[in-house]
Chain A
Amino acid sequence: MDRRQILVAVIGLALFALVPPLAGIFDQPFYVDMFARIMIFAIAAVSLDLILGYGGMVSFGHAAYIGVGAYAVGILSYYGIDNGFVQFPVAIAAAALIALVFGLMSLRTTGVYFIMITLAFAQMLYFLGISLEEFGGDDGMPAYRSEFAGLIDLTDADQFYYLVFAFLVAALVVTHRLIHSRFGAVVRGAKANERRMQAMGFPTYRYKLAAFTIAGTMCGIAGALFANWNEFVSPDAMHWTRSGEIMIMVIMGGMGTLIGPVLGATGLLLLEEYLPEWMEALIAGTGEHWMVVMGPILIAIVLFGRGGIYALFARRGGDDG
């Protein structure tokens, strides 16, 4: 990571940290809520980038872990367990276990088959969620915000915001450390040339499985936070379009970079928020058709912006961070 990349990361995070006081000054509490959501998806995107960008594992079912984390919080809350010190560890453990099991099977395949099998697993969970009548089935169920023994009050928007911020920073630090460890070098090397890595004496399957499980676990945390943000849990959280959205965030922001997915999550969610407004202001009545514009924007970024948004700030895309 050179100076410029560190600068992008620090400025970016500083801007996130400044959102609540700025929103307070301008009396726009809505932005605290919106950027909390952006950061939650940024955590999910960072975790996907760990396996997608650095590991070359195109998982098309990453939203499954958001669902697992969210349902862990929701189901515990349903049974009256609102203690976050219970909910979060359970969400983390559940996501880790599911990721391990999914990884054990899907990592035996590569390429298109890997994409399809991860998608299939995620859809399996989606339909499981729909079939759980007790927990609202299709309609989902309400979830109360986690309680942390009076230490943090998540019903306070600012406190919730900084909890999410702390998790995002932690996710970035962990990812950075992992990527630059020997373990990370083996995973990145396996992306470039898996057979070579095996011929060097590394059982790449195990390394990829470990990375896959870590990524799923991290995304499970995003899920637990999402349940808190939304105060609601439904199968929608793990629909395949959600997996696609997280993947778009990673690609749009810059695959294989540390900060790229954060930029991608920010860019995509802000566009989703404001594109309809802008279009409406420009030509009345077009606002609801914002996806017509969104699609070409995404295509243009993929076609012309190699390295994503991140490449605009840092010198080059590719594998750094």
Chain B
Amino acid sequence: MLELRGIDTFYGRSQVLFGMELEVGTGQVASLMGRNGMGKTTTVRTIMGLVRPAAGSVRFDGRELTEQPAYRIAQLGLGLVPEGRQIFPNLTVRENLVATASKGQGSEPWTLPRVYHLFPRLEERQRSMGDQLSGGEQQMLAIGRALMTNPRLLILDEATEGLAPLIRAEIWHCLADLKATGQSILVIDKNITALAEICDRHYIVEKGHLVWTGNSDELRADEEIQHRYLGI
């Protein structure tokens, strides 16, 4: 479904990604791991067209994304839950969800009631402005907002960062539910235990290079990898 090949991305004159590779199949959940500053978010920004790679290709369902404007990429079915959540502070919860929604195909498209069912808290706060929410509520809203675009691939960038353990657990639970519905997901996170449980495949970046990829069993087995690249 999503395929990155040989991506080189620069910020100004400094190169951040060196031949980055990544693949997410339909219905798959993949993780992207690595320490801070290794190029995870840059990879996501390259996928979403928010930065342009100097070389390489990003293909989504066989279609090349690197030449497309950001809004077209999103329209093709990539939904991003960005790092730092980036809720629209001047819109209400309901407006945040509805403003950017798009109609979904398939048997069970995401609708306002379905998102409220997933996160009942959002329904209670639907008239509050985006900047009046707690961190956990904002995260739920960011996920709900992405789901309302009915993405074919959902990308979560540090979705559990800075959240209380209980709320984290709730988010992981929700991701497992999403996976069960056949949603394709790319997750960026640091919680190896949770990732190993939910993901089919893992990618580890180090200084802009893809240094390791494998499935959950291989990840669990290889303590050296965990130690060397993830600092555990």
In chain B between 15 and 35, which residues have their CB closer than 8 angstroms to a CB of chain A?
none
Q: Are B90 and A204 in touch, CB under 8 angstroms?
A: no
Q: Are B91 and A188 in touch, CB under 8 angstroms?
A: yes
> Which residues of B are found within 8 Å of A127, using beta-carbon distances?
none
Contact of A319 among B75, B90, B98, B99 (CB under 8 A): B90
Interface assignment of A186: CB less than 8 Å from any CB of chain B: yes
Q: Are B91 and A196 in touch, CB under 8 angstroms?
A: no
Interface assignment of A318: CB less than 8 Å from any CB of chain B: yes
Using a Cβ–Cβ cut-off of 8 Å, how many residues does chain A contribute to the interface with B? 21
Tell me the bound Cα distance from A192 to B130 in angstroms: 11
Q: Are B71 and A193 in touch, CB under 8 angstroms?
A: no
**Interface residues of chain A: helix, strand, loop or mixed (majority):** helix
Contact of A182 among B74, B86, B99, B145 (CB under 8 A): B99
Q: Are B86 and A203 in touch, CB under 8 angstroms?
A: no
Instruction: Mark interface residues in B52-82 (1 if CB within 8 Å of A CB, else 0).
Output: 0000000000000000011111110000101
Tell me the bound Cα distance from A297 to B32 in angstroms: 56
Write the nearest CB–CB distance from B123 to chain A, whole angstroms. Answer: 18
Q: Are A196 and B82 in touch, CB under 8 angstroms?
A: yes
Q: Are B90 and A202 in touch, CB under 8 angstroms?
A: no
Tell me the bound Cα distance from A319 to B90 in angstroms: 6
Known interface pairs A201-B71, A204-B71; A195-B50 also in contact (CB < 8 Å): yes
Q: Are B149 and A192 in touch, CB under 8 angstroms?
A: no
Write the nearest CB–CB distance from A189 to chain B, whole angstroms. Answer: 4
Contact of A192 among B70, B72, B89 (CB under 8 A): B89
Q: Are B102 and A201 in touch, CB under 8 angstroms?
A: yes
Some 18 contacts from A to B, beta carbons below 8 A apart, are: A185-B95, A186-B100, A188-B90, A189-B88, A191-B90, A193-B86, A195-B50, A196-B88, A197-B100, A198-B74, A199-B82, A200-B71, A200-B80, A200-B100, A201-B100, A202-B100, A204-B71, A319-B129
The 5 residue pairs across chains A and B that have the minimum distance between CB atoms: A201-B74, A185-B99, A200-B100, A319-B90, A189-B88
